[in-house]
Amino acid sequence: MKHWGKDVLISRRGLIGVGAGLLVAQAARADLLITPEQTTGPFYPHEKPSDSDMDLTIINGRSGTAQGRVIELAGRVLAVKGYPLKGAIVEIWQADSRGIYNHPFERHRRLRDNNFQGFGAVKVGADGFYRFRTIKPRFYDTGAGLRTPHIHYRVVTADRRELVTQMYFPGEPMNRQDGIYLGLRSKAVQAAATARLIGVKGGFNQYRYDLVIA
């Protein structure tokens, strides 16, 4: 069983507390900006792994840990009016620290990090809060261009609304070379698809990424 140390986790209470007043104020003024839809891409899992929990850096039953820089992601699943969407399922999938996916279509699959889970899923509670521990993925070459480091998200709400998107990293120089990122034409929409670095704790960068669904 995996355990999250209290000293290295983004504080659920702190995250919600800091954002609660802002969310109320935003909801009173205007709708939140909807998280942009983006392509699923070719690497959504063919078969979801038996271990698909919130910690992608460790696979149950193995002694090794994933290579790369460990990061923590947290945020909330929200409606445009700012209230949480209880019961939503949040899935993420991504390349490993070598830029390789665990997928039959991945041409470099034999070189992938076998200790990296690659996919995780959680169900949010009444507060809409989710969190994952993973690694920062490496960029990779599609053959048609470079992909900047990114993490794929799929959210399915309790009433079956669906959002598929991609999360980008702030200050990443390769964002300016990625055609999918640049397809988000306005700065505001690019910001809505980009996580915020909110601190470093236990040596891990901590990112905030809220998902706003119409």
pLDDT digits (tens, 9 = 90+) for 61-104: 899 999 999 999 999 999 999 999 999 999 999 999 999 999 99
In-domain check, residue 91: yes
Annotated active-site residue in 76, 103, 147, 208: 147
14-60: per-residue pLDDT in tens?
A: 555 555 554 454 445 579 999 999 999 999 998 888 888 999 999 99
Size of the chain in residues: 214
The answer to whether residues 167 and 74 touch, using CB atoms and an 8 Å cutoff, is no
Q: What is the CATH number of the domain that holds 120?
A: 2.60.130.10
Q: Is 44 a catalytic residue?
A: no
- Domain span at residue 50 reads 12-213
User: What pLDDT sits at residue 49?
Assistant: 82
Residue 82 gets the label, from left (phi > 0), alpha (psi -120 to 50) or beta, of left
In-domain check, residue 137: yes
Tokens 């999360």 map to which residue?
167
> In the predicted model, is pLDDT for residue 133 greater than 80?
yes
Annotated active-site residue in 103, 112, 130, 140: 140
User: What pLDDT sits at residue 14?
Assistant: 55
In-domain check, residue 198: yes
DSSP string over 160-177: --EEEEEEE-TT-GGGGG
In-domain check, residue 6: no
Q: Is 83 a catalytic residue?
A: no
In-domain check, residue 165: yes
In-domain check, residue 5: no
- CA–CA separation, 133 and 151 (whole Å): 12
Domain count, the chain: 1
Annotated active-site residue in 76, 112, 131, 150: 150
Annotated active-site residue in 76, 101, 103, 133: 101
Percent of the chain with pLDDT over 70: 86
In-domain check, residue 4: no
Q: Is 150 a catalytic residue?
A: yes
The answer to whether residues 115 and 64 touch, using CB atoms and an 8 Å cutoff, is yes
pTM exceeds cut of 0.75:
yes
Q: Is 103 a catalytic residue?
A: no
